Amino acid sequence: MRADGEVLGLAHNVADVAEFLRRAGLEIDPAEVAEVPWIDWRGVGPEHWRPDASNC
């Protein structure tokens, strides 16, 4: 996961995405992560997670 060009880490679920955003200074509830328009989902989206990072 990247924010402003900085690598924040590899997210394995929406809770990880919310945590990385919190560390970057953005408070967001994990339930809202899939709904915000400013997250660019690559690959299958917030509802599906793959064990590999081939879509990064």
Q: Tell me the H-state helices in 1-56.
A: 14-23
pTM: 0.72
Write down the pLDDT at residue 51: 61
Q: What is the pLDDT of residues 9-30, one digit of tens each?
A: 888 888 999 999 999 899 999 8
Write down the pLDDT at residue 55: 46
Whether the CB-CB separation of 36 and 29 falls below 8 Å is answered with no
